[in-house]
Structure 1
């Protein structure tokens, strides 16, 4: 069976996976953009997001690149798709990523409000799932056709899948920044009791990389 993975999810030194007050100018909340100082310069991100042939290689890029290997579908929370809250006023919001998102596979968005599938360029289709995380995962597994499912976040979505013990492996990057406020990823979670242990750790100049695996 395909694995369920979290990849390249970054935490601040004080444990926040996003800053407060997300809006159009602050997709990761106020101050949240600083979390990804390790990720944005990598060759993987420069090529996939910006179409640039340049970018840094090394430890950070190795972890960024592994996050796209053998991924056949993604799961995102509503807030990761965009800042629109409540019932969809219309279908004008099409994501943060332009008409050709980086995913290039089916993406299942957890939401309380139904919306028709959104077909984008490059192979990405967003499906809006109102039946909860387990249904979203079942649909993502089917779409992935034997490849892995990547849970992209945000914090509350990862917490749901951790509590259900449905995440097999999770790569966390700890960035040397302090946010002070926002959403704490491990708030209220007892990871050892849920069966998770640290199975890898490696440090670069910009981040400490941790892999947690379900035992």
Structure 2
């Protein structure tokens, strides 16, 4: 992300390797959490106060959040490129049948953005 990441807020990185916090310009500090995704979410919520908390991660981390019921929204960014490897986002969810509500689709030549609301989420007034 360079010397001034775009976040301007604390960032909690779920990792297996402990390390000191990494302070960057513009108010971004990366905190490395080894106690699992639940602890990272707890710390992020404490730091955010009344603001939203965002998750950015790969399939394994997203699956853990889906299984735990911690996601209110899911933003998918679909690029028309076929990769020959990697993890599938919706594998390994067990017998869960989750019907997400599509709330927004933005299409462009290079990417389609899809916003989904989790079934347990009540829209903000």
Q: TM-score range by the shorter chain?
A: 0.7 to 0.9
SS, match of residue 138 in structure 1? helix
Report the Cα distance in structure 1 between the residues aligned to 2:79 and 2:94, rounded to whole angstroms: 22
CA drift at 1:195: 4.9
Structure richer in helix, relative to its length = 1
Unaligned runs of 5+ in 2: 120-125
CA RMSD of aligned residues (A): 2.0
TM-score (normalizing by structure 2): 0.83
Q: Give the Cα–Cα distance (whole angstroms) in 1 for the partners of residues 44 and 20 of structure 2.
A: 16
Contact 1:116/1:128, CA 8 A, preserved across alignment: yes
CA-CA distance at 1:181 after TM superposition: 1.4
Q: Give the one of 113, 116, 121 matched to 1:209.
A: 113
**1:191·1:197 contact (CA, 8 Å) conserved in 2?**
no
Q: 1:192 to 1:163 in 2, by over 3 A?
A: closer
For these two proteins, the number of residue pairs brought into alignment is 119
Higher RCO (CA < 8 A, seq sep 6+) = 1
- Large movers: runs of 4+ above 4 Å: none
Stretches of structure 1 that go unaligned for 5 or more consecutive residues are: 1-96
